[in-house]
Chain A
Amino acid sequence: MRYSAFSIVRNALSGNLNWRPQWRQPQPKSHYDVIIVGGGGHGLATAYYLAKEFGVKNVAVLEKGYLGSGNVGRNTTIVRSNYMLPGNEPFYEFSMKLWEGLEQDLNYNVMLSQRGVIMLYHSDGQRDAYVRRGNAMWMEGVSAELIEREQLKKMIPFLNYDHARYPILGGLLQRRAGTARHDAVAWGYARGADQHGVDIIEHCEVTGIRRENGVVTGVETSRGFIGCGKLALAAAGNSSRVGEMADLKLPLESHVLQAFVTEGLKPCIDHVIVYGGGHFYISQSDKGGLVFGAEIDGYSSYAQRGNLATAEHVMEEGVSMIPGLSRVRVLRAWGGVMDMSMDGSPIIDRTSIDNLYLNCGWCYGGFKATPASGYCFAHLIARNDTHPVARALRLDRFARGYAVDEAGAGPQPNLH
Chain B
Amino acid sequence: MASLITCPHCGVRPKEEFAIRGDASLVRPAPSASDEAWHDYVYVRANPRGRTVEHWHHVAGCRRFLVVERDTVTHEVYSVVDAAAAVRGAER
Contacts and interface: CB of A to CB of B under 8 A. Distances in A.
Contact of A300 (B3, B47, B74): B47
Contact of A307 (B1, B36, B40, B70): B1
A299 B47 contact: no
B20 A414 contact: yes
A185 B47 CA distance: 29
B6 interface: no
A241 interface: yes
A294 interface: no
B16 A241 contact: no
Which of B2, B39, B40, B47 has the most chain A CB atoms closer than 10 A to its own CB?
A: B47
Contacts, number: 74
A302 B1 contact: no
Interface residues of A, number: 25
Interface string A66-96: 0000000000000000000000000000000
Contacts of A249: 40, 44
On chain B, which size bracket covers the interface?
A: 20 to 34
B75 A309 contact: no
Contact of B54 (A241, A252, A300, A307): A300
Which of B46, B72, B73 has the most chain A CB atoms closer than 10 A to its own CB?
A: B72
Interface string A157-177: 000000000000000000000
Given A253-B22, A300-B54, A307-B3, A342 B43 contact: yes
Interface of B: 1-3, 14-16, 20-23, 35-36, 39-40, 42-47, 49, 52, 54, 70, 72-75
Interface of A: 238, 240-241, 249-254, 298-303, 307-309, 342, 398-399, 411-414
